Amino acid sequence: MDYGWIVNLFGLAFNWLRSMIETLLNITLFKLNPELVNDFASTIALLITLTTIYIILVLISSSKKIIGIVLALGWGLLALSLIISAI
């Protein structure tokens, strides 16, 4: 399977985010000095991306316990139903 389209999709999303931040910075903070917009827009976009990945990882790791409980209950109920149906 070719997963190159996923990389391209992330690249397009990152470039779109950077261009939106660049536009916002041009309109607001860097009206007088637009040469700095490129550097700051790229840095802000990278930090937003890393923060998003961090938040997703925190949510996944905190939900591991809940998923473990659900799996344990599921296997337990399955074993119980197998025992009851065999009787």
Predicted confidence at residue 14, as pLDDT, reads: 87
Q: Supply the range of the domain harboring residue 72.
A: 4-86
Three-state helix/strand/coil letters over 5-17: HHHHHHHHHHHHH
pLDDT value, residue 24 = 92
pLDDT of 61 reads 83
In this prediction, residue 43 carries a pLDDT of 87
Q: How would you write the pLDDT of the chain (87 residues) with one tens digit per residue?
A: 677 888 898 889 888 998 999 999 899 888 888 888 888 888 888 899 889 889 988 888 878 888 888 889 999 999 888 888 877
pLDDT at 1: 63
CB within 8 Å of 84: residues ≥ 6 apart:
none
Number of domain units in the chain: 1
